[in-house]
Amino acid sequence: MEALRLSLSGKNVVIATGTSSGKTMCYQIPILDDLVRDSSPGLRAIIIYPMNALVNDQLSDWERKLKMHPKITFARFTGQTPNDQKTYVDRLKAAIKLDLSKQQLNEQELYRETERRLNEKINNDIPNRLNHREAIRKSPPNILITNFSMLEYLLERPIDASIFYNARLKFLVLDEAHAYRGVQATEIAFLIRRLKDRLGIENIVSIATSATLGERGNKDSEEKVRKFVSGLFDADFPPPNPIYGEPLVPKLSMPSVKPQLKEYISAIEALRSNPLANWRTVFNVTGFNDLADFLSHDENLYLLRTKVLASKPKLLKAAAVELWGEVDDSEEGLQALLELVALAKADQAHEDLLPIL
């Protein structure tokens, strides 16, 4: 909440919380808040990642969030971004054919299925995601997701100059900021200064995220983090930065339950074959609102979080033995429990069940 308070009020923030702790939401929410209020054309947010794999994952996440906001445009611009619509369609077709190559289809069947899937994919594309460079240059997106190497090209190439026309950049995000060290940190620091100079701006909301920056509670370490990100962004990051958050303390709801190992296996088998299967019957329980509510009362899951996985990661077999002892089907039972947790968390409303998933 502290990170959101700072970013929503236009302050710079460095978020140094653990993996799956919600760092991404700490910059998505203020960006969305700003664009929902005013979705007029022009570049408003740049999000920089050190790797294309992270860029691609982030693009999918933004797509899910922006389906209901067609006026807010977004795009990925990396070396993988197609030049035009034809190239985009050709790449889609090639990917579909590669996937279908695993099936035994004759030439006519392959053609029909490829065209069917291609049309389905294109028809399902949301209009506010810009899929190729030609579209990005013609109508610059509100949100640009890229990497630092490509951003440097965009600032240099005349063909990309239109992307920065009428830009009103308000947010600049460096995700995985710990990846920028040594010479690379110097390069990106100069890149950010060039970006600001190009757009004629000084004050933007600068956000850095990392799961491994500094040491919580160590004043010297925290000061080094502030100095590091200030050097990258050419901006101030005063306390309470860096934001480390508070570790979540597991809680066991009462009255507790302690299912048998085989009950987990039976429940997940039923739900695999039928997502609407009645898991309450398998566990012989009543009165719980949903699966997540039931698992919040589960002593085995509580023990898994507070004891078995409290100190360090473990192999599935080792964790199963520690949880249930040397018994048959212990690994299968733990796998089933973890799958049940994943199902319960599918709506993203129960991140407290088992944050490691």
- 30: which 2 tokens? 């203020």
**CATH class of the domain defined by 2-81+132-233:** alpha beta
Q: Which residues pair with 49 in a beta bridge?
A: 147
Cα separation of 79 and 347, whole Å? 33
pLDDT (average), residues 188-211: 92
Q: Among residues of the chain, what percentage have pLDDT more than 70?
A: 94
- In this structure, are strands 74-77 and 129-130 parallel, antiparallel, or unpaired? parallel
Cα separation of 72 and 140, whole Å? 11
pLDDT at position 136 over 90: yes
In this predicted structure, what is the pLDDT of residue 134?
97
Confidence class of residue 346 from pLDDT cuts 50, 70 and 90? low
Residues 6+ apart with CB under 8 A from 133: 77, 81, 82, 83, 84
pLDDT (average), residues 154-164: 95
pLDDT (average), residues 251-271: 91
Which alpha helices (H) appear in the chain, and where do they start and end? Answer: 2-8, 23-37, 52-66, 85-100, 107-124, 133-138, 148-156, 182-199, 219-233, 261-273, 279-283, 291-295, 299-303, 316-324, 330-344
- 45: which 2 tokens? 């947010």
DSSP string, 277-337: --HHHHHT----SSHHHHHTTBHHHHHIIIIITSSS---HHHHHHHHH-S-TTHHHHHHHH
pLDDT tens per residue, range 94-119: 999 988 888 888 888 888 999 999 99
Residues 6+ apart with CB under 8 A from 277: 270, 271
Weakest-pLDDT range from 47-61, 155-169, 268-282, 296-310: 47-61
Average pLDDT of the residues of the chain: 88
In this predicted structure, what is the pLDDT of residue 225?
92
pLDDT at position 63 over 50: yes
Confidence class of residue 247 from pLDDT cuts 50, 70 and 90? low
pLDDT tens per residue, range 295-315: 999 999 999 888 887 777 788
pLDDT at position 54 over 60: yes
pTM, rounded to two decimals: 0.75
Q: Which residues pair with 15 in a beta bridge?
A: 209, 243
Q: Among residues of the chain, what percentage have pLDDT more than 90?
A: 48
In contact, 55 and 24? CB cutoff 8 Å:
no
pLDDT at position 356 over 50: no
Exposure pattern of 130-140 as b/e (b: 16+ CB <10 Å)?
Answer: bbbbbbbbeeb
Listed by start position, the domains of the chain span: 2-81+132-233, 261-344
pLDDT at position 91 over 60: yes
φ and ψ at residue 143, rounded to 5 degrees: -120, 120
In this predicted structure, what is the pLDDT of residue 354?
53
List Cα–Cα distances, 103 to 91, 109, 112, 118, 346, in angstroms. 20, 10, 14, 17, 30
Distance of CA 97 to the CA centre of its chain: 28
Residues 6+ apart with CB under 8 A from 163: 43, 77, 136, 137, 140, 144, 154
pLDDT at position 333 over 80: yes
More confident residue, 250 or 27: 27
